[in-house]
Homo-oligomer: A and B are copies of this chain.
């Protein structure tokens, strides 16, 4: 049983990068959780209880405005974690964390997390470095929102999601994508049509298939690559990064 948790946990790159000794200390406190699409991990202002390390799930950081408008500010899959506010000295954030792609995660309660963090070892180092990459991601979202078109932003968003998946198929309606990008659903429809016409993607009723990874990268703004590079620069020596994972197009 606990062995299953361990196997699951090691699918998360941050946990997998820990020295054996540190992982062993954390292991008793790790817990596997199932995260169906739409699950709200924590709500804006909620007191957070756990830090989540996604293994196969993808989790989105979403800001909800007073008038109901929404915009995604960041995203984390098996390359990251959700709940950095906890070890940064807070117990809540101004955003909502919601499951964007069904899957699993491993979580740990605030207390044992903090204990290990305060030891000041590799765990602390990795968590802080990851948080720095998250800041880069959020920064780039800010820039992208101001200076780039919906078309470009959509490409970037598809690429980020693709990176966290082990398939070329993304289960996601245009309505939901619109919520993430902070634009109208119709805007996504039009942008997605253009990408389909170019042969970069194919989509049918809630499922998007990536057909041409390189083409998507070319159509995206610089923001995607900048965040990737920064992640590799900060965590590449601890976490193996396979940039060619999907170099060949095709459907799985």
Contact = CB atoms under 8 A, between A and B. Distances in A.
Interface stretch (A3-11, A136-144, A161-169, A197-205): A136-144
Contact of A182 (B93, B134, B147, B233): B147
Contacts of A95: 139
A36 interface: no
Contacts of A84: 132, 135
A65 B222 contact: yes
Interface in A98-154: 118, 120, 125, 128-129, 131-132, 134-136, 138-143, 145-147
A181 to B, nearest CB: 8
Contacts of A132: 84-85, 88-90
A28 interface: no
Interface residues of A, number: 44
A71 interface: yes
Given A145-B145, A147-B71, A89 B138 contact: no
B94 A146 contact: no
A65 B147 contact: yes
A142 B131 contact: no
A234 B88 CA distance: 10
A73 interface: yes
A128 B88 contact: yes
B71 A146 contact: yes
Contacts of A129: 88-90
A230 interface: yes
Contact of A234 (B74, B90, B140, B233): B90
A111 to B, nearest CB: 16
Given A71-B142, A85-B132, A90-B233, 6 more contacts: A63-B142, A88-B131, A138-B138, A141-B142, A143-B145, A146-B183
